[in-house]
Amino acid sequence: MNQWSTLFQKELIEMWRNFKWVWVPITFILLGVSEPVSSYYLPQIIDSLGGLPEGTVIEIPPPTASEVLIQGLSQYTTIGVLIIVLSTMAIIAGERKSGVAAMILVKPVSYFSFITAKWAGGFLLLWVSLLIGSIATWYYTGILFDWIPIDLFFQSYLLYGLWLTVVLTLTVFFSASLLTPGIAGFTSLAVVFVFTLVTGPLSNWLEWSPSQLTNYANELLLSSAIPDDTLPASLLTLACIIILLWLSVFIFRKKELAS
Amino acid sequence: MDVLVNNLPILAPIFIIQLILIIVAIIDLIRIETTNGPKWLWVLIILFINILGPILYFVIGRKRY
């Protein structure tokens, strides 16, 4: 445990030194907040671009608060995923390439603590950034549109966080099992993309799929009732995370012993 | 001008955190030894591409080790 916390602290210090603790939360804030702000100012933006032609009658209904919040949060499943993958793809593959991993692993450090400490660092960064970003989005939605009950917001925050944790764990897995950061990042993005793509049209059958979690979070915000399949989907997601993490330790150990 | 003053409480925090992002990126750029691609190019990208510039720098501009 002592060893693990040392590795974990090393991870946190490293993330502080390369400013991940600054730029990831700020990016998440800007991503989320841009949605309520731009929908609030949409009429002014249209006017300043020359306005609609004389006589056109296009009523743009003002979006409801939950719609705006959903739009803001859904930025995290697109650009947010991209940022998570790009910023964690080198987490293990990069250290192997530069030789830092070898330097740490000649000491009596278990592979398990090496990988899980790295994963925990990324996990903490992700949840803190998502919390700051989504609270900012929620706050801006509140002052510009309408306040959404904070318990609803927190429930959907948890669901979004769970799905993004799957993305993070997948990236750690590929980073441990593939040799180069670039390939690891690309593969994780491709897998996440295919996963969401397959789940979309088959949502009636794949009710427990982890990528459904964000849809459930949106439904929750719209109807303020938790959809039925949320619990099994979350449990399956937790299982996926644990299995992926275990697999990455397993594969990493095999690869390191082979090389 | 009136519009600007009325909306200042809403927009000012956003400008401030954007500014922080730019400043942090520039500080990091000064301290780092080498980047992917010429350093002066990254200065221009960080300063002139709104929001996306500093993020791009952190994601692909920093050379690891």
pLDDT in tens, B22-65: 999 999 999 888 888 888 899 999 999 888 899 889 888 887 65
Confidence of residue A244 (pLDDT cuts 50, 70, 90): very high
Q: In this predicted structure, what is the pLDDT of residue B4?
A: 66
Contact B17 A37 (CB under 8 A): no
**A231 vs A208: CA distance, rounded Å:** 9
Query: pLDDT category, A115, cuts 50, 70, 90?
Result: very high
Assign A64 to helix, strand or coil: coil
For the cut 60, the answer to whether the pLDDT of residue A174 exceeds it is yes
How near does any CA of chain B get to the CA of A86, in Å? 6
Q: Count CA atoms within 13 Å of residue A255 on its CB side.
A: 19
**Range of the structural domain that residue B40 is part of:** 2-61
- Considering all CA atoms of chain B, what is the largest pairwise distance in Å, rounded to the nearest integer? 50
Number of domains in chain A: 1
- Segment A84-110, tens digit of pLDDT: 999 888 888 888 888 888 888 888 888
**What residues make up the domain containing A223?**
2-258
How high is the pLDDT of residue A259?
64
Nearest-Cα residue of chain B relative to residue A82: B59
Please say whether the beta carbons of A119 and A172 come within 8 A: yes
ipTM of the complex: 0.88
The verdict on a CB contact (< 8 Å) between A26 and B65 is no
Quick one: B20 exposed, middle or buried, by C-beta within 10 A (0-12, 13-18, 19+)? middle
| pLDDT tier at B3, thresholds 50, 70, 90 | low
Q: Total structural domains in chain B?
A: 1
CB-based burial, B24-46: b 16+ in 10 Å, e otherwise: bbbebbeeeeebeeeeeebbebb
Q: How far apart are CA A205 and CA A186, in angstroms?
A: 28
pLDDT in tens, A4-51: 999 999 999 999 988 899 999 999 999 999 989 988 888 888 778 777
